[in-house]
Amino acid sequence: MNDALRLNADVVDRARAAASAIADDIQQHIERHTTDTTERATLRLLGISGVNEIDVPLVNVVAEHARELLPGGIMRPFVDLMIQTGKNAQQVAEGVAAGDLALADVPAERRAAAETRAAALAEEGVARIDAVRARRNELVAETGEAVKPYVYVIVATGNIYEDAAQAQAAARAGADVIAVIRTTAQSLLDYVPFGETTEGFGGTYATQENFRLMRKALDEVGAELGRYIRLCNYASGLCMPEIATMGALERLDMMLNDSMYGIIFRNINMRRTFVDQYLSRLINARAGIIINTGEDNYLTTADAFEKGFTVVSSDFINEAFALRANLEPWQIGLGHAFEIDPAKPDQVVYQIADAQLVRQLFPGYPLKYMPPTKYMPGDIFQGHIIDGMFNFTGIFTGQEIMLLGMLTEALHTPLLQDRYLSIKNAKYVFESCRDLAGEVTYKPGGMIEQRANDQLQKAAEQLEHVREIGLFTALEEGEFADVKRDPRGGRGFEGVFEVAADYFNPFFAALREGRMSGAPAGPAPGASIPAAEGGH
């Protein structure tokens, strides 16, 4: 299947080399900077949680209190204070919040001791993540593994308990992955809310407690169905690495985690986002989490037929950053989408070309294919057919994570029955066409092969241009999604710090060293409880 289309291998190499150079350039910026959320994630990795009397997370209180110290890294002064007071991390954080303790520069003679202790604590923190990952492996082996493509659906009621009920219903109907959409604008909060929540707008707050509640619901229904149900959330926005930390501890299985999405679509400062995505991805890598990238969004602003190649370019860039953050190919769910105008003649032919191109460029990657949204009509019957063609394109081109379209996409967050109908649609198409792709070949030099090579060529040219001008400038000039961003503008720029010469954060090394490898594996899913067949 991976040589189904004859792609120009030289152009593939050119594109990948350019993306690699682009990422290397940015990686230098990443190494020279830290951010407030990077340091807060570090504190969370030490096990600190909770909020003060006005609901500000303790990690924010500590980071704000120690703002002057952040260029050197929070770990050395924080662990030194632990040593001086004989308290654990949580107690020190509480002491700082209460105003009883203060962080300060560590005198030279205490540095070595603080660093040694910090390195040991980092190893303990990482061991907690490893234990969660091992537990996932056990559960998948015990419960059973879903058959790919994974059926991915969204819940978004705002109430975590309602979400849990809907997620269980979706799993029973056949969903393999449940994503809990976040409440509108959470990506722009410079802190992570705390505790269970029952109100949100257009989604549900990502909190550690909500993660835990949903995880429990999915484990329950997974055991009932004999199929491990994966949980997805968003390590994105102003708190990328903090949410990655929470997800690693609460056994999320997937995270939306794009290297550029926040910059382009949420106007978060680019210098910050590149730094933030690095630690968030190191954590996801360690936790055995599959990341999903957000290229589908490009096609909601730019035209999918004209600018389809920007998705390919961005996939190469996301791949390059992901590999630098230690993610293994099976963890890199690069995104693309079915967004060409259905009114365009041969729409599906072009969609197949684009989807097959991405499939062949990234073998072994669990590609995430996103459904039609931009042109979904209010006519739900027509919309259901468009979704069917999306499902067809997905199975025919070997996509692995299928975010299902909803017939009511244009109208409202999915009703219980919408999700059911959508899963039925997908299951029918997947099973009825499962072996089709292996039975047919693409016409050499035909429309599909030509379109794929054309998009590849344009992507390579774009990547070479971006390498030439640098990614910061490219984002400034609107290379992606037709959106232009100011390198010094956007949200969160005030939280970016150039690191001091003696910057110290042992988590970076601890996260990289001695990690587990490979995807969880389990038996084929057990017989799910069939929905009772109705009569008249």
Partner 1 sequence: MVIRPYGDTRDDGIMQFSFTLPMPYSIKSADVGKQFLEKLGFHTVAIAECKAIDPQYTLFVAYGRTDAGIDPDEVKGDYLEVDEMDYYAINGLIKDKLGRKLSVVGAAIESDAHTVGIDAIMNMKGFAGNYGLERYPEMDALNLGSQIPCAQLVKTALERDADVILVSQIVTQKNIHVQHLTQLIELIEAEGVRERFVLIVGGPRINNAFAKELGYDAGFGPRTTPLEVASFMAQEVVRRHEDS
CB 192 within 8 A of CB 235: no
Which residues partner with 402 through β-bridges? 151, 369
- For the four alpha carbons of 440, 307, 257 and 320, in that order, the dihedral sign comes to positive
Contacts of 107 (CB under 8 A, 6+ apart): none
**214 φ/ψ angles, rounded to the nearest 5 degrees:** -70, -40
Residue found by looking up tokens 């340091």 in the block: 39
Q: What is the nearest approach in angstroms of partner 1 to the Cβ of residue 306?
A: 9
Residue 425 engages partner 1 in binding (rule: CB under 8 A): no
Handedness of CA 320, 321, 324, 327 (dihedral sign): negative
Told to check if 133 binds partner 1 by CB under 8 A, we report: no
Does 415 sit near partner 1 (CB under 8 A)? yes
- Contact at 8 Å (CB) between 522 and 144? yes
The nearer residue to partner 1, 345 or 535, going by C-beta atoms, is 535
Rank residues 167 and 437 by Cβ distance to partner 1 and give the closer one: 167
**The only residue of 11, 83, 188, 447 in contact with partner 1, by rule CB under 8 A:** 188
Q: Does 303 bind partner 1 (CB under 8 A)?
A: yes
Q: Which stretch binds partner 1 (CB under 8 A): 30-38, 89-97, 317-325, 416-424?
A: 416-424
- Rounded to the nearest whole angstrom, what is the least distance from the CB of residue 205 to partner 1 in the complex? 13
For position 12 contacting partner 1 by CB under 8 A, the verdict is no
Q: Which of 86, 107, 345, 535 binds partner 1 (CB under 8 A)?
A: 535
Beta-strand (E) ranges in 390-436? 401-403
In whole angstroms, what is the distance from residue 27 CA to residue 290 CA? 21
Q: Tell me, yes or no, if 375 is annotated catalytic.
A: no
The answer to whether residue 411 forms part of the interface with partner 1 (CB under 8 A) is: yes
Name the catalytic one among 191, 261, 298, 365.
Answer: 261
What φ, ψ does residue 373 adopt, rounded to 5°?
A: -135, -45
**Residues with Cβ within 8 Å of residue 288, at least 6 apart in sequence:** 133, 136, 137, 331, 516, 519, 520
Catalytic annotation, pick one of 163, 296, 387, 418: 296
What residues between 377 and 396 interact with partner 1 by CB under 8 A? 378
Catalytic residue among 258, 307, 368, 387, which? 368
Binding mask 263-302 for partner 1 (x = CB under 8 A): ---xx--------------------------------xxx
Peptide bond just before 342 cis, omega within 30 deg = no
Left if phi > 0, otherwise alpha if psi is -120 to 50, otherwise beta: which for 106?
A: beta
The strand ranges marked E within 176-253 are 177-180, 230-234
Q: Find tokens 């924010």 and name the residue.
A: 60
Stretch that binds partner 1, among 44-52, 131-139, 182-190, 470-478 (CB under 8 A): 182-190
Find the binder of partner 1 among 29, 44, 172, 286 (CB under 8 A): 172
Amino acid occupying residue 530:
P
**Residues 340-379 close enough to bind partner 1 by CB under 8 A:** 374, 378
- In the residue annotation, 296 being an active-site residue is answered as yes
368 carries an active-site annotation: yes
Interface residues toward partner 1, by CB under 8 A? 158, 168-169, 172-173, 184-185, 187-188, 201-202, 266-267, 300-303, 374, 378, 410-411, 413, 415-417, 420, 482, 529, 531-536
The residues annotated with a catalytic role in the active site are 261, 296, 368
